[in-house]
Amino acid sequence: MLYVSTRGGMPAQPFCDVLLEGLAPDGGLAVPQSLPSISASQLEAWRTLSYPELAAAVLGYFATDIAPELLAKMTSQAYTPEKFSSADIVAVRPLSDGMSLLSVSEGPTLAFKDMAMQFLGQVFPHVLQQRGATLNILGATSGDTGSAAEYAMKGKAAVSVFMLSPHGRMSAFQRAQMYSLQEPNIHNIAVRGVFDEAQDIVKALAGDLPFKEKYRLGAVNSINWARIASQVVYYFWGWLRATTGPGQEVSFAVPSGNFGNILSGHMARRMGLPIRHLVLATNENNVLEEFFRTGIYRPRKPAQTHETSSPSMDISRASNFERFVFDLYDGDSAQVAKLWQALGSEGYFDLSSRLPEFESKYGFVAGVSNHENRLATIRRVFDETGNLIDPHTADGVKVALSFVEPGIPMLVLETALPAKFSETIEQALGRPVPMPYGLEDLLERPQKFTTLPCDVASVRDYIIEHAAMA
């Protein structure tokens, strides 16, 4: 399989090449030239596979330049019971009202980002060793991507991580997870701004092609296609556990800020997975919900981005949204480039003429949750089922309730564990969440990070000083 840019300015490249590049040279995002089609019979043949086996099978369609036996070795090392709390790697836990939790947050950093990052932690060193190269991973995080990437890459030869986070806008647990890492190849940079501004710095440096090439910049944010491909796996896994035979439909509810997690569901649906609805749940930063309701995409300025109790979704410009628009226009990269030019000059674009397609053709529906909603949902789910959920998952449950249909299982993605957001859980239930085993002293561990102004030049200078060079 080969990959092209959503904006048409990149020659077709294999998986391992786009893995190392992150953002395309023309500022677009890598997408497959064509998606594989998975037949009903193939789906049924996958029912007996373990999660690592299923991951190797699904990723084999995307990473065609990696030998199948090597890919299987990588997935078996990425997805082990020692790294994930469930022997199944991803468990399905019943709730009420026809809903279940798809627990994709049982990895080392207690967030769904581990599902992709643990695979990237295997494939990056392999490709770099093959090529005798180094890689400086540059990313931005609103809380969970950073820790998942750092835990997957810490101590890895030939890899350094430079992770930007918004100063003072993550939970205490999230900060401690990241900043307590002492490995010399991990560099935490707290920028005085919001996530969107940090992401803009990442994109600006990735778009500076001479700088990117000289310092071998790569990405682990969901702009990296490998992240999206790795996440496709658990949609297949969830469907296989929620159904008993071919053709049965399942809906997925996904808390989403950057549109990466739910985009993987969109890709699975395009590959033939029988998905009824992809339910997009946002918090008060509801730019994506507004788009799926009105057809108008209008990102907000940093000053208009709310600080909420589901902070990983405090995002007003969704990086992966461009990949969906590329599909909406049937791969017309010129049209995508035109829309993003308009976005830069006008601050919005209007696709309301395509509004009926969002649900009828692509299965998307959307809704909003706020602080009081998530507190009430956390309480209700705990009282009714005994399951303790985090604020982002609570947003997913709240919105999913409006789209439950008789006979259609609704799987809500549990995107993080509640221990990461103990302050909000205490508000909801009147008591904090006990720290997970092995992390009891996390908040007391020494923290190592650098605070920088929210500007490109400051981050550039820091990378120049600390980058790993071949």
Distance of CA 179 to CAs 112, 150, 445, 458, 466, Å? 19, 10, 9, 19, 17
pLDDT at residue 163, rounded to an integer: 95
Q: Rounded distance, CA 197 to CA 356, Å?
A: 33
DSSP one-letter code for 387? -
Q: Decide: 420 and 173 in contact? Cβ < 8 Å.
A: yes
Helix 113-131 with 144-153: angle, nearest 10 deg: 40
Fold designation for 91-110+225-429: Rossmann fold (3.40.50)
pLDDT at residue 222, rounded to an integer: 87
Helix, strand, or coil (residue 164)? strand
Reported as a single tens digit per residue, the pLDDT across 184-193 is: 999 999 999 9
Q: Decide: 206 and 5 in contact? Cβ < 8 Å.
A: no
Looking at the DSSP bridge assignments, the partners of residue 346 are none
Helix (H), strand (E) counts: the chain:
19, 16
Is 435's pLDDT higher than 90? no
Cβ-proximal residues to 289 (8 Å cutoff; 6+ apart), any chain: 280, 282, 366, 367, 368
Helix 172-179 with 422-429: angle, nearest 10 deg: 160
Name the percent of the chain lying above pLDDT 70: 100
Q: Token pair for residue 369?
A: 């949750």
- What average pLDDT does range 149-155 have in this prediction? 91
Q: Decide: 279 and 252 in contact? Cβ < 8 Å.
A: yes
Reported as a single tens digit per residue, the pLDDT across 172-184 is: 898 999 999 999 9
Amino acid letter at 40? A
Reported as a single tens digit per residue, the pLDDT across 311-343 is: 889 989 998 999 999 999 999 999 999 999 999
Reported as a single tens digit per residue, the pLDDT across 251-294 is: 999 999 899 999 999 999 999 999 999 999 999 999 999 999 99
Q: Rounded distance, CA 451 to CA 443, Å?
A: 19
pLDDT at residue 470, rounded to an integer: 61
Is 30's pLDDT higher than 80? yes
Helix, strand, or coil (residue 311)? helix
Domain ranges of the chain: 91-110+225-429
Q: Rounded distance, CA 88 to CA 50, Å?
A: 7
DSSP one-letter code for 433? P
Rounded to 5 degrees, φ, ψ at 102 are -100, 105
Q: Rounded distance, CA 396 to CA 412, Å?
A: 6
Reported as a single tens digit per residue, the pLDDT across 351-400 is: 999 999 999 999 999 999 999 999 999 999 999 999 999 999 999 999 99
Cite the active site residues.
113
Is 151's pLDDT higher than 80? yes
pLDDT band, residue 405 (cuts 50/70/90): very high
Reported as a single tens digit per residue, the pLDDT across 112-128 is: 999 999 999 999 999 99
Is 143's pLDDT higher than 80? no
